[in-house]
Amino acid sequence: MEYEKIYVETLVRFPAEGGMRPVAVIWENGSRFEIDRIKFIDRAPARVSAVLPMRYTCVMGGREKYLYFEEEGLRWFVERERL
């Protein structure tokens, strides 16, 4: 199975105690998906080419999804199965 990298607009909170927490993802067609919960944050490889990004394991609409942050370009992306 092949995947492609899709850069997405991401709304992020910067709590007073530090760090950053994504709260919503806005898809390329303008659809907004709220992040209900963040289960894990770790540095993990993506299935697409990327320099070891930060991976946020998120729960959105009851489903677990990965959201990645590339530090070198300061951009967020998700993976999508290539059609």
Q: What is the tens place of the pLDDT at every residue in 22-67?
A: 999 999 899 999 999 999 999 998 988 878 999 999 999 999 999 9
Tell me how crowded residue 52 is: count the other CB atoms within 10 A of its CB: 13
Helix (H) / strand (E) element for 70: namely strand 63-70
Report the SS3 class of residue 74: coil
What is the domain count for the chain?
1
Tell me how crowded residue 2 is: count the other CB atoms within 10 A of its CB: 8
Q: Which residues pair with 35 in a beta bridge?
A: none
Predicted local confidence at residue 49, as pLDDT: 83
Domain of 61, in residue numbers: 3-81
